[in-house]
Amino acid sequence: MSRSISSQHGEIVLADNELIVSKTCLKGKITYANRRFMSIAGFSEQQLLQQPHNIIRHPDMPKAVYRLMWKTLQSGQEFFGFVKNLCSDGRYYWVFANVTPDIDERGQTRGYYSVRRKAPESAIRLIAELYQQMVTIEASGGGRSSIDQSAAHLQNWLDQNRLDYFPAMLRLYRHGQL
């Protein structure tokens, strides 16, 4: 397997064929992490297991995106989106994430699988700018209302571009542009 490439700016860039895989319980605690996840994030299996998945949450990520993710997952749907994650040593990496409910034989959700792969640079540039605007909105207010305003900003951006969130994220991943 090819190795991740580190830039001099603290960013880890995944190789084209790398997959980061994890599984969580219903509350978002990690129950499985593949070796690539551990290696890239810089955590041992012991450090990751039973920890909240947000152990790798980067402060540049808007809370409104996570709210959308949880709302989507709790409705039984899969989530697609771009995520900036934090490594244990302070570096970071961007991924295109696909998070899917893990459904048992009785139709009950018992946790979530996440598969993350390299995000196109052109998509990262577009998303990073949008996310920075959202994080600024969230930092300017307090609590739920600022997250609501951030989510409204995202919806406004989608409406201005005549897009729906999930098809837009898939298009950005596949084509690097909207």
Residue carrying structure tokens 């098809």: 167
Contact 55, 48 (CB under 8 A): yes
Per-residue pLDDT tens digits for 89-134: 999 999 999 999 999 999 999 999 999 999 999 999 999 999 999 9
Q: pLDDT averaged over the chain? A: 93
Q: What is the mean pLDDT of residues 162-176?
A: 94
Per-residue pLDDT tens digits for 6-21: 444 599 999 999 999 9
Contact 99, 114 (CB under 8 A): yes
Indicate the domain borders of the chain.
5-175
Q: What is the mean pLDDT of residues 63-74?
A: 96
For residues 60-87, one letter each, b for 16 or more C-beta atoms within 10 angstroms of the residue's C-beta and e for the rest, the string is ebbbbbbebbeebbeeeeebbbbbbbbb
Q: How many CA atoms lie within 13 A of 42 on its CB side?
A: 12
Query: What's the CATH number for 5-175?
Result: 3.30.450.20
